[in-house]
Chain A
Amino acid sequence: MSTQPPLSVALIGNPNTGKTSLFNMLTGLHQHVGNYAGVTVEKKTGTWTLPDGGQVNLIDLPGTYNLNAASLDERVAVDVLAGHSSDAAPPDLVIVVVDVENLRRNLYLASQASELGVPMVIALNCWDVAERKGLQIDSKLLEQRLGVPVVPTVARTRRGTGALAEAVTRALETRPMLVRPRWPEAVTDSIADLRRELVETRDETLREGELQRLLFDRRSAVAERLKTPAAERDALLRAAREKLHLGGYQPDAAESLLRYRFLNPLLNDILERQAAMKKRSTSESIDQLLLHRVWGLLVFVGMMYVVFQSVYTWAGPLMDIIERGVGWLGGIAGGALTATPILQSLVVDGVIGGVGAFLVFLPQILVLFFFIALLEETGYMARAAFLMDKLFSWSGLNGKSFVPLLSSFACAIPGILATRTISDPKARCITILIAPLMSCSARLPVYLLLIGAFIEPEYGAAVAGLTLFAMHFIGVLLAGPLAWLLHRTLPRSVASQPFVMELPHYRVPQLGRIGHRLYESGSEFIVRAGTVICAMTIVIWALLYFPRPPELAETVQATAQVESPGISEAELEHRLNAAYLKQSYMGRFGNAVQPVFAPAGYDWKITVGVLASFPAREIIISTLGITYALGGEIDEDSDDLRSTLAKARWESGPRAGTPVFNLPVALSIMVFFALCMQCGATVAVIAKELHWGWAIGSFAGLTALAWVAAVLTYQIGMWLA
């Protein structure tokens, strides 16, 4: 017996039914999160131990309202239930998690799933809420009518999980099937046609339920899986739908009409008591305030202020602790490795620096995800999207983009991760691509340095403030039109979804569930993005470190003693580091591509700074510190750096002797950094959330955009000056 593969059970249900809570309850921490082959839909599996000691493999399918395959989620659900998911046979049983308060709509999904021929058990979840509202449903009667076990459960308190386990154990033996509609002749004839043409003639493997999907759904994802050539397949599907139409059924409406016509008589008397609920529910009373034209917006602004502040400011102390911890670790490692400078630099600047480079994002991610989990679990997130939708709908996005984009003003990393709350794949993709244009906190040091050195002394605090505001605004200004453009040009493979959104009943959030989500998002970020960010940091370190010819030290020392005798040890060290950087691979590369940046007014030092800041924008400051021989331990408030920049002169070329940094150059650098994607972590996260192609494409696109804007700024600035 033990050689048999373990039985598998799938969980399916509408969003907001407590399906994932139930999954967590049944599997505990015995979970595995991965992806379905070829698609970015999260695949959660876990081990569930039944009371008889047997173990089943539990699959948590994505929450869906139906199986009409409008999105990848629904397609995955159909594929798994039909056994076409690349790695598994069809499940031995499906548990449909049903929200008692929306019985009719939830059973529609159960009815669709039953057509795929999988035995079924129904979990009537949120039983406690229903009981409190006086909504008593006769589960025994429902069981008789539907032909499958119906078990009342309360996922949040474990109520009913024992009964569910028993029902599942029995059902794995008896294999109960949900009653299915008796379809009219027009449907059965069309299905028979499809079966004859596709299954018998063309040898496709399709279950009854999949043939239904092909017939009823205008753009069924099942069709993409067929091996029949597209033109031939589409002609067959058109003919079948035409037959349905001639039989008196509008093909797009047929399934909904017929399936509800079948379900309604089974449920009407059971749901009669629900009529008593017609009076305003608690959720509706709360919405009178939260969706109010004035008060609703005020509450919304207040909440978003808290969310933003938490990511922008409150995560700061935690980030400081991590940075200090990394610095302390680097100090210890550095001290231990003084004998071998290469190893010392690799370990301290490369490895430990690389680990620090992604760990430092963790506080912001966790803080933001705490609020997102809270907003989602309570049901407010949908309201926020409802309030803000109009701001986005013109560009092809929807209200759900608001929170991720707002968070991106603090940092694009948590912002991009937060786009997972956007269910429309196209809107999500576009939101990810424009998120880096929101001016994050890493740009602030660049703005502060240049404004402090070139704008505030000359034009005063008011203009300085205005410049700072303009730098934050320029990205938003370009993001809207860019989203609009992307919406019209993105390939059709990124499907768009109609924007109809449920405003679910408000719920009291469960701390355990929020904790679980934090754990998942944090560990996933470290495992998936952390490794890439760390690797990138090491590569950039190597480009800045090598080559390192030993004779350079002597040359620098000799020159220094001639030029400025009595030079201090530290000063000499800084000059040596500047010399090393200049002839490093990165330095040479910067020199080589300087002509590209010349129209923006950059010399080779700025160019190297721009290139070396690929891991993170603020690195340009320490790089400038090194190239100007002030050392890398410098920050944006350093007066040394500010005055050195102001004094810098072109060494050669047409502008030899004139200042490198004038107002147009300072503005041009700021504009470049406002729009570019010099942030290795963002590139890595986009690659992990979408695909490497998108990551590289958006990096190239934003760099080009930033370059054009920087050149325009400089040229117009010089022309005006």
Chain B
Amino acid sequence: MRLDLIKKDGLYRVQKMDSGNPCIARLMTMGLLPDQELRLTHEAPLGDPIAIEFNGCQMSLRLRDAALIEVEPIR
């Protein structure tokens, strides 16, 4: 499923991502790579952007970019 559609409090694992997008490329240099586990921690009051947590750091990204990341639920 797409990262922009995931629910809070579940644990997910990255399956694939579109590395041609500059946002995604930037997240990859920060360690968000295929097989990385992540959680959705917050949604902004207006629904966009969202905050995800991986490897002990919290990053905010917009739904438009999150839609380019495929994840699978693992819990």
Contacts and interface: CB of A to CB of B under 8 A. Distances in A.
Given A277-B56, A503-B51, A68 B29 contact: yes
A498 to B, nearest CB: 4
Nearest to B50: A386
Nearest to B29: A66
B48 A389 contact: yes
B30 A65 contact: yes
Nearest to B47: A390
Interface stretch (A201-209, A289-297, A612-620): A289-297
A390 B48 contact: yes
B61 interface: yes
A101 B56 CA distance: 7
A287 B41 contact: yes
A284 B41 contact: yes
Nearest to A274: B56
A500 B51 CA distance: 10
A256 interface: yes
A385 B62 CA distance: 12
A498 B26 CA distance: 8
A393 interface: yes
Which of the listed residues B20, B31, B65 has the most CB atoms from chain A within 10 Å of its own CB? Answer: B31
A286 to B, nearest CB: 12
Given A102-B57, A274-B56, A502-B57, A390 B29 contact: no
A339 interface: no
Given A252-B19, A390-B47, A257 B33 contact: yes
Contacts of B21: 498
Interface string B11-37: 000000001111101111111010000
A296 B62 contact: no
A382 B60 contact: yes
Contacts of B2: none
A466 interface: no
A260 B31 contact: yes
Contact of A105 (B51, B55, B58): B55
Given A105-B55, A389-B49, A291 B65 contact: no
A65 B56 contact: no
A157 to B, nearest CB: 23
B19 A498 contact: no
A389 B42 CA distance: 14
B40 to A, nearest CB: 12
A390 B25 CA distance: 22
B56 A500 contact: no
Nearest to A259: B29
A66 B46 CA distance: 30
Interface residues of B, number: 32
Nearest to A290: B42
A384 to B, nearest CB: 11
B16 to A, nearest CB: 10
A260 B62 contact: no
A502 B58 CA distance: 6
Contacts of B55: 102, 104-105
A260 B36 CA distance: 11
B26 A503 contact: no
B51 A393 contact: no
Given A66-B29, A108-B29, A502 B47 contact: no
B35 to A, nearest CB: 10
B28 A386 contact: no
A293 B45 contact: yes
Nearest to B61: A500
Interface in A435-489: none
A296 B43 CA distance: 11
Interface string A489-509: 000000001111111100000
Given A499-B61, A500-B65, A390 B41 contact: no
A68 B59 contact: no
B28 A256 contact: yes
Given A104-B31, A498-B65, A501-B60, A390 B49 contact: yes
Contact of B59 (A256, A497, A500): A500
Contacts of A250: 19
A352 to B, nearest CB: 49
B62 to A, nearest CB: 6
B37 to A, nearest CB: 10
A179 interface: no
A390 B55 CA distance: 26
A292 to B, nearest CB: 8
B74 interface: no
Nearest to A66: B29
A387 interface: yes
Contacts of B33: 256-257, 260
A105 B57 contact: yes
B46 A108 contact: no
Interface in A377-425: 382, 385-387, 389-391, 393
Which of the listed residues B19, B60, B62 has the most CB atoms from chain A within 10 Å of its own CB? Answer: B60
A527 interface: no
Contact of A70 (B20, B26, B31, B41): B26
A223 B20 CA distance: 19
A104 B29 CA distance: 11
A362 B17 CA distance: 48
A260 B30 CA distance: 10
Contacts of B23: 498-500
B31 A105 contact: yes
Given A386-B60, A393-B62, A502-B57, A296 B27 contact: no
A253 interface: yes
Interface string A296-321: 11000000000000000000000000
Which of the listed residues A296, A297, A393, A503 has the most CB atoms from chain B within 10 Å of its own CB? Answer: A503
Interface of A: 65-66, 68, 70, 101-102, 104-105, 108, 218, 250, 252-253, 255-257, 260, 274, 277, 281, 283-284, 287, 291, 293-294, 296-297, 382, 385-387, 389-391, 393, 497-504
27 contacts: A65-B30, A66-B29, A105-B30, A108-B31, A253-B25, A255-B29, A256-B31, A256-B33, A260-B31, A284-B53, A287-B58, A297-B45, A386-B42, A386-B44, A389-B49, A390-B44, A390-B48, A393-B62, A498-B22, A498-B23, A498-B26, A499-B49, A499-B62, A500-B27, A501-B59, A501-B60, A503-B60
Given A70-B22, A256-B33, A385-B60, 16 more contacts: A65-B26, A66-B29, A101-B57, A102-B57, A108-B29, A218-B20, A284-B53, A287-B41, A382-B60, A386-B51, A389-B48, A390-B46, A498-B23, A498-B25, A500-B30, A503-B60
Q: Which 5 A-B pairs have the closest CB atoms?
A: A253-B19, A390-B46, A498-B23, A256-B28, A252-B19
